Amino acid sequence: MAIKKYKPVTPGQRNKAISSFDEITAKKPYKKLLAPIKSTGGRNNTGQMTVRYRGGGHKRMYRLVDFVRNRDEFKATVLTIEYDPNRSARIALIQYEDGMKSYIIAPNGLKVGQVLESGAAASPDMGNCLPLANIPVGTLVHAIELRPGQGAAMARSAGTYAQLAAREGNYAILRLPSGETRMVPVACRATVGTVSNPDHNLESDGKAGRTRHQGRRPHNRGVVMNPHDHPMGGGEGRASGGHPRSRKGLPAKGYKTRNPKAVSNKFIIERRKK
């Protein structure tokens, strides 16, 4: 896993820093695990733009990733490590002993030919998926369920992980990189290890065109708009714009938007550090 920098032969390469893709072992995805994605351009079912600054971009196919991993009776062998245009992490194509294939989120350090297991009887080795009740305290895990059988919902993007800090009764206590500490039922499953592509945050597109290929259009600030376009717009000259807020008028930068009656509040022991 490395970041590739370019000599500034062209202006677009002066600040360009992208992944070297050394770990990728397949150029084409497995066709039977692909599904089409319809590009919305930020519009809803009536054609109204609900998300700004989206549109264009390269056409993509969705990779059907298995987040549940409940085929406990079969071991699986890693066939390829692949690039997924729909997520920051790498994915791995695995084949079970009965011949069935599926995609999973690739842990950091996963190699082709490695044998993976899942279930309560699996060993707590890198890439294996097992309940939190069977994982040793202190282990780094990812792809964590929040409800038993739901499928992985937490720590799925590149380089992310959580540490199993303790177990109390029917709950495991996880410490997240943000500083948040929360409880998760011990019956929930997690995959041992950290997510692949940890250097993703060091990448730099280098030019606007690469951002357009990803389907993101230019973003203009609220302070440069007129008053009827944005709450922070208007004023003579380069006005600061007043209190930071969204186009809908919702305050930003410190305003708490979390619902105080959220059901999951009881599972959060310590909130993330500011």
Residue 184 · residue 171 · CB < 8 Å = yes
pLDDT value of residue 30:
98
Residue 123 · residue 170 · CB < 8 Å = no
pTM equals 0.92
> pLDDT tens across 165-179, in order?
999 999 999 999 999
First to last CA, the chain: 30
> pLDDT tens across 124-174, in order?
999 999 999 999 999 999 999 999 999 999 999 999 999 999 999 999 999
Residue 37 · residue 58 · CB < 8 Å = no
Query: Distance (Å, rounded) from C-alpha 173 to C-alpha 137?
Result: 9
Give the long-range contacts of residues 7-16, CB within 8 A, separation 24 or more: 11/207, 12/206, 12/207, 12/209, 12/210, 13/206, 14/206, 15/204, 15/206, 16/204, 16/205, 16/206, 16/207, 16/210
Kindly report the average pLDDT of the chain as a whole number.
95
> pLDDT tens across 39-73, in order?
999 999 999 999 999 999 999 999 999 999 999 99
Q: Is 3.40.50.970 the CATH number for 3-41+56-201?
A: no
Could you tell me the maximum CA-CA distance found in the chain, to the nearest angstrom?
A: 71
pLDDT value of residue 240:
85
Q: What is the DSSP string of 144-204?
A: B-SSTTS---BS-STT--EEEEEEETTEEEEE-TTS-EEEEETTSEEEES-BS-GGGGG-B
- Given a cut of 80, is residue 274 above it in pLDDT? no
> pLDDT tens across 212-258, in order?
999 999 999 999 999 999 999 999 999 888 899 999 999 999 898 88
pLDDT value of residue 257:
86
pLDDT-derived band at 1 (thresholds 50, 70, 90) equals low
